[in-house]
Amino acid sequence: MYETTYHRPNSIDEAVALFAKASEPRYLAGGHTLIPTMKQRLAAPTDVIDIARIPGLSGIEVSGEAVTIKAATTHYDVARSDAVRKAIPALCMLAGDIGDPQVRYRGTIGGSIANNDPSADYPAAVLALGATITTNKRGIAADDYFKGLFTTALEDGEIITAVVFPVPAKAGYAKFPNPASRFALTGVFVAKLKSGAVRVAATGASQSGVMRLPDIERALAASWSEATLDKMRISADGLIADVHGPAAYRANLIGVMARRAIAAAG
């Protein structure tokens, strides 16, 4: 590796100030993307600003209408939270199936969403549940946040502080994992909101990253059941084709994972 300056700020304001002063800064949360890319010299920050230990940036708050997960909360803490399991059990299941134990103990929800890997699990939940991403500057609706591969609506230096999930009437998640990385070759999150609206999002399938599935949403809004999707044809247009399979393979996985997610949601 090369020379870089490591900082451990005690507040969000201090972190933002350090970011503004540096020439090529990067925030560090769990580090599961930044550290490997630095080792491969794909990233060369002059300053690494560790925000994972900032007081008040981790923890979970649950009300009758919302689950607020602060940005530095680990996947492990989400997976083991009884309060989250009672309010949105699909989130606990999703978090408990991310990576391996080492990843779950260190990785954070804020880091995952800020990085916006096209095969990450959390973006599907954020988009399907219509969550709000709260930063040190504003709140960003999920539909406005994801902008493409590794691209988000975050401005330079902006820090995610929490993700606010509305508690749905029911929700479920299913993914077909890469056996080595546990990233989703395709994952689908389905949600029926208390308003009656249905939202469905897929990760790992599209060339442009996490995406809504409006055809499936309309079908499930009319009839919430696995059988509703049995004869639905998923278009392969714009889906990923790689060493794991052609675009038609991802299209088939969307249908299969959607039905499994509905079954999990009940």
The sign of the torsion formed by the CA atoms of 218, 142, 109, 164 equals: negative
Query: Among the CATH numbers 3.30.43.10, 3.30.1490.20, 1.25.40.10, 3.30.70.1230, which is that of 5-50?
Result: 3.30.43.10
Give the residue carrying structure tokens 């769990």: 30
H or E element, residue 37: helix 34-39
Q: How far apart are CA 54 and CA 52, in angstroms?
A: 6
Angle separating helix axes 214-222 and 247-265, nearest 10 degrees: 30
Give the residue carrying structure tokens 């399979």: 245
Q: pLDDT tens track of the chain, all 266 residues? A: 578 999 999 999 999 999 999 999 999 999 888 988 998 888 999 999 999 999 999 999 999 899 999 999 999 999 999 999 999 999 999 999 999 999 999 999 999 999 999 999 999 999 999 999 999 999 999 999 999 999 999 999 999 999 999 999 999 999 999 988 889 999 999 999 999 999 999 999 999 999 999 999 999 999 999 999 998 999 999 999 999 999 999 999 999 999 999 999 98
State the pLDDT at residue 1: 58
The sign of the torsion formed by the CA atoms of 74, 41, 49, 67 equals: negative
Q: Which of 178, 202, 179, 183 lies closest to 254, judged by CA?
A: 202
| Beta strand 66-70 pairing with 60-62 | antiparallel
Q: How far apart are CA 180 and CA 100, in angstroms?
A: 10
State the pLDDT at residue 45: 94
Q: How far apart are CA 141 and CA 155, in angstroms?
A: 15
Q: How far apart are CA 157 and CA 13, in angstroms?
A: 11
β partners of residue 146: 152
**Domain boundaries of the chain, sorted by first residue:** 5-50, 60-265
State the pLDDT at residue 32: 84
The strand ranges marked E within the chain are 5-7, 25-28, 47-50, 60-62, 66-70, 132-135, 139-141, 146-148, 151-152, 160-166, 170-177, 184-192, 198-203, 211-212
Could you report how far apart the first and last alpha carbons of the chain are, in Å? Answer: 49
Residues 60-265, CATH architecture: 2-Layer Sandwich (3.30)
